[in-house]
Amino acid sequence: MKWHPDKNPNNKKEAEANFKRISEAYEA
């Protein structure tokens, strides 16, 4: 999970945005 926020403490906002987008893509 490359974009998981916990794996990107220095880049949390971007990681959360990417993680959210990826999660939504999986649900579609």
pLDDT at residue 3, as a whole number: 58
How many domains in the chain? 1
pLDDT at residue 20, as a whole number: 92
The answer to whether 3 and 17 are in contact (CB under 8 A) is: no
pLDDT at residue 21, as a whole number: 92
Domain of residue 4, residue span: 1-28
| pLDDT 10s digits, 1-28 | 665 667 767 788 888 898 899 888 887 6
Q: How far apart are CA 28 and CA 13, in angstroms?
A: 23
Which CA distances in Å does 28 have to 7, 18, 21, 24, 25? Answer: 25, 16, 11, 6, 5
